[in-house]
Amino acid sequence: MNQRVGDSAGIKFSRVEKKFGRLYALRRLDLEVSPGECVALTGRNGSGKTTLLRIATRLTRPTRGEVTFPGAPPGTMPAVGYVSHALMLYEELTALENLLLFARLLQVSHPSERAAQLLEAANLASRADSLVRTFSRGMKQRLAIARALVQEPSILLLDEPGTGLDTESAARLVSTVRQLRDEGRTIVMSVHGESELSSLATRAARLDAGALIADTRLGATFQAVFAAGDIS
Amino acid sequence: MKLLSDTAVLLQKELRAEFRSHELLTTASIFILIVIVLFSFTFDPTTAESKQFGPGLLWLAFLFSASLMLQPSFLKEKTNDTLSALRLAVGDPFAIFLAKLCANTIFLLVTELILLLVFGVFFNIAVMPVFWKLAFVFFLGSLGVSTTGTALSAVSSQARMREVLLPILLLPLLVPVLIPSAEATRALFEPDHALRWDWLGILIAFDVVFLTALWLFGEYLLEE
């Protein structure tokens, strides 16, 4: 049985707009993600998925509108884990050094134990002392997710996490995200529609040219069909 | 306290990465060595001329090598978007700057002190009697160079012409560091080996002003 995370928070985008020069990346977007929901964000390249995720992390400031976190204590920002497709890892450090660096910055109690635990969960314990630049894309992706989980975030934002993965690595990723979803974390992941990761979503939101054009809560049948496909 | 502990963690990361790759130290050392040797053979100065013009030449070499050394400071954080990971993890973004400028100052100082000995040999100047005083002047000068250079490295890493932008912005801004550093170094080669506090005062003031500006406005340099 999966251990559930406490104090799960959601994300609420209210009239969020982002302009880069004259270009609109997001247009007055309203979207509320409830605590514990798993949302698949779809849309073509350049539709605004990455910008939306970066605004949720507060790495990017919206031109207009605001992002709040329902369920989080007032005036606080919940722990957010973010995996971008650039992976956000230091290639010249080892896997263990990467996790220890972020565990110490995030003031995780017992950073060494936490890093070891995450490496074990990512099936990278045997490569803990190897430099990240010697890793395959799949191993880097697993380590990137481990890094995002260092402080046990209640919100997880994944930007095209399946990019460049082979079948085995992709299956492992699906299994990891399923486990994180079942632990009760709020997950927003940008995916391409046909991805197996989509089957894990409880809701799908589609962006086009920075606007939200579809927002569908997915039924159990939809998930079961994809889940069955995933197992086979 | 969080600022200091974050800075210590990040400084450790910077030092570990550099002492593993030796990229910056090697590049800067070779550059300064080439400049010293070329100038020595080109001008073939007497000892008196060396004491007169050597410090200016030495500091020019330090500045050009610093522009090489400081360029990758933030640029390498762009490769895997690690800067975003750091921004999400640190309490105060100034910790990122503080760690980088401490690391850059250490790298510059180490390179300068090693190359100082080579300078002494090629320009026939006895540097050992004033080694620690020179080290103090070099520290103040390097701190000024690193503070300004680290801030501009953050700016240039987000620009399109990033490879040429840093030297173009950095070198004119560092004139107030170059002149007092060269003058204070020259004074140490005089017979009385005196520390010129008038020039050092300018260096200290420059360091304090730019460090304060970085502390106040550094956060905006990291925004997208």
Parallel, antiparallel or unpaired: strands A186-190 and A38-42: parallel
Q: Which of the four pLDDT bands, split at 50, 70 and 90, describes residue A225?
A: very low
Contact A147 B86 (CB under 8 A): no
- Pairs across A and B, CB distance < 8 A: 61
Tell me the C-alpha distance between B87 and B16, whole Å: 20
Percent of chain A with pLDDT over 70: 90
- With a CB cutoff of 8 Å and minimum separation 6, the contacts of B202 are B176, B179, B180
**Do the domain assignments include residue A55?**
yes
Whether residue B185 contacts residue B134, with contact meaning beta carbons closer than 8 Å, is answered with yes
Q: Which residues of A touch B (CB under 8 A)?
A: 54, 57, 59-61, 80, 82, 84, 86-93, 97, 101-102, 104-107, 147
Half-sphere exposure (Cβ direction) of B179: Cα atoms closer than 13 Å: 9
For A82, the 3-state DSSP assignment is: strand
Contact A59 B87 (CB under 8 A): yes
Q: Which of the four pLDDT bands, split at 50, 70 and 90, describes residue A76?
A: confident
How many Å lie between the alpha carbon of B183 and the closest alpha carbon of chain A?
Answer: 40
Please, which contacts does A115-118 make with residues 24 or more away whose CB atoms are closer than 8 Å?
Answer: A115/A150, A118/A146, A118/A147, A118/A149, A118/A150
Domain count, chain A: 1
Of A92, A102, A107, the CB nearest to B85: A102
Of residues A199 and A66, more confidently modeled: A66
**Do the domain assignments include residue A106?**
no
Inform me whether the pLDDT recorded for A195 exceeds 70: no
Domain count, chain B: 1
Contact B84 A147 (CB under 8 A): no
Judging contacts by C-beta atoms under 8 Å, the chain B residues touching residue A57 are 84, 88
Confidence (pLDDT) at A232? 29
Tell me the C-alpha distance between A43 and A206, whole Å: 5
Contact B88 A86 (CB under 8 A): no
By residue range, what is the domain housing residue A207? 1-79+154-168+184-232
Confidence (pLDDT) at A231? 34
- b/e per residue, A125-154, with b = 16+ CB within 10 A? eebeeebbeebeebbbbbbbbbbbbbbebb
By residue range, what is the domain housing residue B142? 2-222
What would the two tokens of residue B63 be? 């500045």
Judging contacts by C-beta atoms under 8 Å, the chain B residues touching residue A107 are 2, 5
How many Å lie between the alpha carbon of A79 and the closest alpha carbon of chain B?
Answer: 10
| pLDDT tens for each residue of A20-52 | 988 999 999 999 999 999 999 999 999 999 999
Q: Which of the four pLDDT bands, split at 50, 70 and 90, describes residue A6?
A: low
How many Å lie between the alpha carbon of A32 and the closest alpha carbon of chain B?
Answer: 22
DSSP-H helix ranges across B157-174: 162-173
Judging contacts by C-beta atoms under 8 Å, the chain B residues touching residue A106 are 89
B153 burial level (CB within 10 Å; 0-12, 13-18, 19+)? buried
Inform me whether the pLDDT recorded for A4 exceeds 60: no
**Do the domain assignments include residue A47?**
yes
What was the ipTM of the complex prediction?
Answer: 0.86
Tell me the C-alpha distance between A7 and A22, whole Å: 40
What would the two tokens of residue A98 be? 């990467």
How many Å lie between the alpha carbon of B122 and the closest alpha carbon of chain A?
Answer: 37
Kindly give the confidence (pLDDT) of every residue in chain B, 224 residues in length, as a single tens digit, with 9 standing for 90 and above: 889 999 999 999 999 999 888 888 999 899 999 999 998 888 888 888 989 999 999 999 999 899 889 988 999 998 889 999 999 999 899 999 999 999 999 999 999 999 899 999 999 999 999 999 999 999 999 999 999 999 999 988 888 777 788 888 898 999 999 999 999 999 999 988 889 999 999 999 999 999 999 999 988 888 87
Residue A60's domain is classified under what CATH number? 3.40.50.300
**Do the domain assignments include residue A121?**
no
Query: How many residues does the structure list for chain A?
Result: 232
Tell me the C-alpha distance between B224 and B220, whole Å: 9
- With a CB cutoff of 8 Å and minimum separation 6, the contacts of B193 are B129, B130, B133
**Do the domain assignments include residue A96?**
no
Confidence (pLDDT) at A194? 56
Confidence (pLDDT) at B21? 86
**Do the domain assignments include residue A27?**
yes
Of residues B46 and A232, more confidently modeled: B46
